Amino acid sequence: MPGRLSLNQELLLVTLMANVAVAATLATMLVRFPWFRRILLTEKRDWPERLVFAACFGIPLMAGVGARLVLQYQAADLSLAGSFLAGLIAGPYAGALVGVGVGLPATLAGEYGALPFAVGCGFAGGGLREVCPKEEIWKFSPFFVTKLHRSVWRLLRSFQLDWQMILVMAPVLLELLRQSIGRRFPGRLFTFTPDNWWMFALVVTSSVLAVAIPIKIWNSARIEHRLAEQEKLLMAARVEALANQINPHFLFNTLTSITSLIRSQPETARVLIVRLSGLLRRLLRSQEHFVPLREELEAIDEYLDIERVRFGPSLIVEKDIDEASLDVIVPSMILQPLVENSIKHGLARKVGEGRITIHTARRDGHAIIEIIDNGVGMPADPQPDADRDHGIGLRNVNERLRVIYGANYQLHMQSIPGRGTRARIEIPELLVSEKVSA
């Protein structure tokens, strides 16, 4: 390699670098569109998806060929890499369509070898896609040379093919073919014209990189999507597990109350069983993890009906409900443990009238829900929030808020011994009209 590059060599080197940069830029721009990213996520694509892929990828490549023909900007021409890549990702027919798109303008300009060569590149990529394992395509890398000795040894020992070597050698051979045709028939097929062996090697390397870099970019997007989907599934599983803890806990406590009344107050126990069956039917009918606050308050009314049977007129329930908050989406069964905690730990040991106030409001893009009682309160504790051992119900509520909304959203408890307790939830506002998913 000479110490100083000639002007033609410098121009070719810059063009090759720009050629690879154009391929990377195009791949990055396309993957930002959700509909294009969805096409990449599945290996089995129907015809509309193949046509969309061919159009989305082929039209910018056609513009690049046009820029070369009109502006003499050679770096934008990705005929070989683009057609081969389209076939490798979307199949032979999509590759052929892209080949037609990039070959036709050049053919009309007198480069009569452009159309058959580009279509052939598309079919070459598509043919490899049909025969090789699909996941091997997404591992496409020019750095297979670092393990070339192991690939050769595996081939000689067990006749096991290294698909990475085959995939990378395909654009190498296509570039060699293009160089041969370009030298044999000048002006009939566009090709870069290196004037020594190392520039020739750079031309071949640029063709491989123009295929490898888009695949790496698109594969990164696929991996990010899969991780996001797995994270959503994990969160949904955690939310469901936490929600499923509530029902047995609530059922156990209620059945314990009924058991204590069977001998002394059998009629009251019977009424409790009827009310409990109605509430359980509601819970069994609803499989949603999120419900409007309106439905959550209706479930609380049914639960309070059970408690009123037990406590009689000594239990008073007041509501301060902001009508604008009724359509806000909340996690299902998020309030029942709070009301149960107020009754069990606040009012059950109180002498005289017990009062529970349910307050809701919307403020600054958040929904605020408070359960306030005038019970005996809780012992003083330097930690005001719900991380203390208040039992499975409150711990569950706190954990569900953290899992669904993040660490900044927790259950806040404030209590004054002898005067009562306030449980406060503040969550981001989400209305019924908006889609909710666990």
Query: For residue 3, what is the DSSP state?
Result: S
Three-class secondary structure of residue 359 per DSSP: strand
276 and 209 share a domain? no
218 and 350 share a domain? no
- With respect to residue 246, please indicate whether it lies within any of the assigned structural domains: no
187 and 38 share a domain? yes
342 is in which domain, residue-wise?
263-428
pLDDT tens for residues 331-373? 887 888 888 888 878 887 777 788 899 999 998 889 999 999 9
Find the CATH number of the domain harbouring 310. 3.30.565.10
Q: Which of 18-32, 187-201, 300-314 is predicted with the least confidence, judged by mean pLDDT?
A: 300-314
Distances (CA, A) of 88 to 123, 145, 285: 9, 21, 49
What is the value of pTM for the model shown? 0.60
* Count of domains forming the chain: 2
- With respect to residue 338, please indicate whether it lies within any of the assigned structural domains: yes
pLDDT tens for residues 366-395? 999 999 998 888 765 544 444 444 456 788
pLDDT tens for residues 171-186? 999 999 999 998 999 8
- At 217 the pLDDT is 92
pLDDT tens for residues 191-245? 988 888 888 999 999 999 999 999 999 999 888 888 777 777 666 666 566 555 5
- At 438 the pLDDT is 42
Q: Which of 24-28, 218-222, 273-277 is predicted with the least confidence, judged by mean pLDDT?
A: 273-277
- With respect to residue 414, please indicate whether it lies within any of the assigned structural domains: yes
- With respect to residue 67, please indicate whether it lies within any of the assigned structural domains: yes
On average, the pLDDT of the chain sits at 82
33 and 144 share a domain? yes
Tell me the average pLDDT across 109-113. 91
Q: How far apart are CA 222 and CA 436, in angstroms?
A: 24
- At 70 the pLDDT is 92
Cross-sheet strand order for the sheet of 420-428: 315-320, 354-363, 366-373, 420-428, 412-416
What is the maximum span of the chain, computed from C-alpha positions, in angstroms? 106
Is the model's pLDDT at 257 over the cut of 60? Answer: yes
96 and 145 share a domain? yes
